[in-house]
Each structure stands twice: as C-alpha cells, then as structure tokens.
Chains A and B, each alone.
Chain A
Amino acid sequence: MSPVLDIRDLSVAYRTPSGDVRAVSHVNLSLSPGEVVGLCGESGSGKSTLAYGATRLLRPPAVITSGEVLYSGKRTGSPVDLLQMSHHALRQTRWADIAIVFQSAMNALNPVLRVRDQILDAIKAHEKMPKADAHEKAASLLDLVGIPRDRLRSYPHELSGGMRQRVMIAMALAADPEVVIMDEPTTALDVVVQRDILAQIVELKERLGFSVLFITHDMSLLLELADRIAVMYAGQLMELGSSAALKDSPAHPYTQGLLQSFPSLRGARRDLAGIPGSPPDLRDLPKGCPFVPRCGHAVDACAEVDMSLIPVPGARAAHVTACPIVLPGAAQPAPASAPAEGALS
C-alpha cells in the first residue's frame, strides 16, 4: 500500500546572520492510510518544525534546504510534491488533504471571530455549498466532537481549554482531510481531559479513516496510541519502528533514555533516570551522531556515523535505528560509564 504522505530527505534550516540553524536534517518518514504515526522528541528536537516545514507553514527565516514531500491521496491520483507546488495549489491542498491541529488552541483561534465563523471559513475555502448546508456541516462537526451546537456562537475565550481543543479538532476535519497532523494537542490540558480528547481522536480516526501524525514529547502517550513511532533528536531521526517494538526492545540509546524517564504503573519499581545534559546548538552540529555528549555508550567511532537508518537485527517488522554501535545482538564496546538499568536485554 503506497503511503498517503511520504516525506523524503527533508531538511529545514533557519537562516540567521551567524549561519544556518539546521532544525531538521534529512528526515525520511512516511504515513500509510489509516495509520497513526507518533513523532516523539524533546523541545527543540525539530518535530514541530518537520511537520510545519512539510506543509510549508514556516515563516522567514526558515527555508527548506532539501527533500520532497509526496502526497498521494484520493483527490490527486499520482503523488504530488508539496515542495514544488504553487501557492495556489498549496492552498487547496491545505486542510482538504492535510489538516493540522495546532498546539495551544487558545492561541490558534482568532480571538475576535465566533467559532461558527472560523469553522465556516475552513469549509468555504474548500467547498462551494449553500449557506444553510455550510451551517449544517459546521454544526455536525461540533456534534462529532461532542460539543453542544449552541457553542457555535461563542468566542474562543468563552470556551474551556478542553472545548477549545475539540473545536480545533472539529475544524481540522471540516474539509474531510486524509491526513491530520496533531501538534501536541493535549499538552496544555490536564490529565483527565487529555484522556477524553485522545479517546475522541481514536474514535474519529476509526470512523472517518484519516491518518494521523501525532507529535508529542510524551512517549507514554504514543506507546498506547500510535502504530509506529519515530524518535527525533537534534533534527534527525534516531529510531523508527512499531510501538510494540520500541516498547519491548528500543534500539537507540536515546529511545532507551526516553523510556526510562517515565514511571510505569505496573512492573517493578525502579529508579527514574533522566538523560543528563541538554540538546546541542543546532548551528554547530558535531560530526556524526549528535547524541554523543549525552550518550552513555559513546565511543570514538560515533563521530563517523552517517546517521542513516539501518535495520535492527532480529526485528519483526520494519524497525530501524541510527545507531550502528549499540545494537541488540551486535558486539558491544565497553561502555564509557555504567549503563542505565535495563538498557540492554
């Protein structure tokens, strides 16, 4: 099955007077129809930049320095490259093919327009229909996410955080997209509401059949929600595989570190280990693997790694990692410091 969204070798940089900040470097990621792919990483890892760069929503001084973003959906037939499109074609593709649910709904909704008008905007931009039909569609979108219809007349500041996020989701579905990119949709909400929203998302996905690219820093969410998970660090992909594979046998030291940062309700008690250090300066990336300063397994050979994704030996489904040094089953060099608990099976 050909992927509905295929990001190939995408690089995004911010052009500043002191050089380019490489926010995303040569990332390959694809999304199949009906699939949920999680994109995980710390702040500054480039995960949001990847999504917005792919849809070309980034503002100057951002530039895209390499790659293609191929979309092949029902509407288009053969794959088209978003990076090659004219602004006009791009505008038609946005929302109708690829929609985005933005982080922090309070900021992503126009404060002076009613909810109804904002949803109508999204509908009218992509489909010509009589006013009454458009209104009915807007109302039914709110029904989809479980918000009372009379909220159409509200302004964004009159809604609670959870409601606003649901309005964002409803709006994203206004033009029947095939791909929905969700950028930290639940980060600003409390845990209970988080659960609600996530359940809603899953239900809608089942019902309407769109693919989801779910961006978050919360790995535990993805382990439950996503079919496949991609782990990003310093603008590059570290590991990519099914969520089961990542949970049971994470291959990359960074993934292992992330998994260790979350407590688990079940299982034996263990000490929580974070990942010491901080992300690198994206203007001045070191040669080879960017994770070296914080990696407990770093050796000299790490500076020569070319960061291409190689299959994990012995994996069931496609499971790739960028670290050729630390592989389950490969010969292990003596670690520089004591390995974290339970790092390698």
Chain B
Amino acid sequence: MQFILRRLAFYLVAAWVAITANFFIPRALPGNVVEAIMAKNPDLEPSAQKALEALLGVGNQGSLWHQYVHYLNQVFTFNFGPDPINYPATVNQMLSQEVPWTLALVGISTIIAFVIGTGLGILAGWRAGGRLDKSLPAWMFVQGIPYFFLALVFIEVLAVKFQVFPIGQGFNAEYYSPGWNWGFISNAIDHSILPALTIVLTSTAGWMLQMRNVMVTTIGEDYVVAAQGKGLTNRRVIFTYAARNAMLPQLQGFGLALGYVVAGALVMELVFSYPGIGLQLLNAVGNDDYPMMQAIFLLITFAVLVANLLVDIVLVLVDPRVRAREVAR
C-alpha cells in the first residue's frame, strides 16, 4: 500500500511538471500567439479573445504567479477554454466526442498486442533457437516500420485494391449516426479493424522481442533449474516458474512503452482520418489551435500516468517482494 502511495505521489509530481510545462511553453515563445489565432479566425468574439489571452498569457494578465494560479484552477476544473476553430464550441465539447474513439481503439489494440506479444515471447524463450527464433529478424523489421507507413500500405492494399475494409473514418456517416444501436456499433467496429490491425501488428513485435529476451534470462535462473530438478512438468516449469517471474520486468516495460504506443497511434489516426484525439491534435497543429493542442497534450499525459499507476498496482499484486521492499525502507 505504501508503495502505491509513493507511486501516486510521483505521478502527481509528473502531472504537475506537465501542467507547468504547458503553462510556460506558449509564454516562452516569441510573438503574439493570440494574434496569430485571431488572424486565422476572424469571426471570434471579443470574449473568446479575452479567454484566449488569459489562457496563453498574452497582454496584461497580472503577475506570472497570478496567471499560474488561475491556470491551475482552470485545469482542475477541466476548463480548457474556447476552441477557436470550432467556435462557439469549447475544447471540452470537442474532446468529449473524440476521446471515446481513441480510448476504445488504442486501449483494446494495445491490450491485444501485449497479450499476443507476450505469449509469443514466452514461446520464443522456451523454444530458443527454434523456428520462432529464426523468424526474429522478420519481427524486427515489422517493429521498425512506422505505424503510419504500415497504415498507408494497409489502406492501399486492403481497402482500396481489394476493398475488404473501409478506407477510413470512424464510421460511415452517410448511413449511420452515433448511438447505441447494433447497426452503428458494427459499422464502427468494421471501420476500426484496419487501424487496430496496424497497431497490433507493429507493437506485438516489440512486446514479443522484449519478452523473449526476459524469458531467456529468466530460464537461466537457478530456481528454474531447481524446478526441473524437482521433476516438474515442462509446462509448470515454463509457466509458473519462468514466465511468472519474467512477467515482472515485462510489465514494468509495458508502463514505460505506453507513451510510445500512444504516440504511434496518434499519427496513425491521421492516416485513417479516424475521429479520435490524435486526428484532432494534428488538425490543431495545422490550424495553430493552441488551446486544443495544450488540452490534448495534458489529456494524453494524464491518461498515460493513470495507466502507469494501474500497472504499478498490478505489479504490487503480482510481486510479493515489492511490498517487502517498501516495508524495509
């Protein structure tokens, strides 16, 4: 329990760093960012302009500290300000539509990839030197392919040429509208298969390579040899003695790698025109939509931090030494 609390404290510090970075970056840059926004969106009302200036620290906003407190206040009330591009909608309104798409796609794909990759990695470690091992360079190649490139290839081959899957978008807007009905949901799933496949394929390679190395190291440990000496079945030796222990560093790696997985998924959304926050972020970049960019950055950061915390909780449940180590401190 103490371990979890310490980790929580750490994540709060990290979150604070992210928030503060978010605060300072627009203020540290040269030029008047609000003017740039206003220039691009001439029909923004003065109240919106005021809000933007407050958000981005332009003009006379009071002392830096005063602005900072005000900003923190905004963050904690999840008020990210107006969205200049989609005015009069607020950033919140836009995001609340997009977050579920990304969450579903990235969340589910990552878990599937992790499970498959780890399973293959266990097998590769057990059968080190076998056929699976021989195919490792191929896996390395797959891991090296940028997500978006694979996405492009998939679209070209599977969607355009062979028309097996839809070309992009989250759903077919001509026929369906969002709602909890089977028609919409099945269409949404249909549209998410290619993006999910892209994520699963590329990241599975990474998890597998990592797990294989950890397995090989773990299988060499004395307690695995001792388990063999006890006459236990291969299955028990590999799973309960080797894999159970190898999972611990693998899980830790999962937490760290989450940031990269999410990153890759963002760019991929652009390729598929998938209506998630990744696409929104990249559109915002193109439109100099700073409030949106800031908000999404914070959102993604918070999500990754929360996921890391969850991983830590799982680790505590799974590794008895963690609790002891904390008690001993």
Contact = CB atoms under 8 A, between A and B. Distances in A.
Direct A–B contact present (CB less than 8 angstroms): yes
Interface of A: 55, 57, 59, 90-96, 99-100, 102, 104, 107-113, 121-122, 125-126, 155, 157-158, 171, 175
A91 B231 contact: yes
B324 interface: yes
Interface of B: 220-223, 225-233, 236, 240-241, 244-245, 248, 318-321, 324
A121 B14 CA distance: 44
Contacts of A171: 230
Specify which of A93, A104, A110, A171 lies most central, judged by the most chain B CB atoms within 10 Å of its CB: A110
A111 B321 contact: yes
B231 A59 contact: no
B231 A94 contact: yes
Contacts, number: 79
Given A102-B226, A107-B221, A175-B231, 7 more contacts: A110-B241, A112-B244, A121-B240, A122-B231, A125-B232, A157-B320, A157-B324
A112 B222 contact: no
Nearest to A114: B320
Nearest to B248: A112
Nearest to B241: A110
B245 A57 contact: no
B318 A122 contact: no
A95 B321 contact: no
B223 A104 contact: no
Contacts of B220: 59
Contacts of B236: 121
Contacts of A95: 229-231
Contacts of B245: 110-112
A110 B223 contact: yes
Nearest to B321: A157
A96 B232 CA distance: 11
A121 B232 contact: yes
Given A113-B240, A125-B232, A108 B223 contact: yes
Given A104-B222, A107-B222, A121-B236, A57 B228 contact: yes
Contact of B225 (A59, A125, A157): A59
Nearest to A100: B229
A113 B239 CA distance: 12
A59 B321 CA distance: 28
21 contacts: A57-B225, A57-B228, A91-B231, A91-B232, A91-B233, A96-B231, A100-B226, A107-B223, A108-B223, A108-B226, A110-B240, A111-B223, A111-B321, A112-B244, A112-B248, A121-B227, A121-B240, A125-B232, A126-B231, A157-B320, A158-B324
B231 A112 contact: no
B239 to A, nearest CB: 12
Contacts of A175: 231
A327 B223 CA distance: 44
Contact of A110 (B227, B248, B318, B324): B227
Contacts of A126: 231
A22 B132 CA distance: 32
A155 B221 CA distance: 17
Contacts of A99: 229
Specify which of B220, B221, B222, B223 lies most central, judged by the most chain A CB atoms within 10 Å of its CB: B223
B226 A112 contact: no
Contacts of A57: 225, 228-229
A110 B227 CA distance: 9
Nearest to B245: A112
A108 B225 CA distance: 8
A110 B229 CA distance: 13
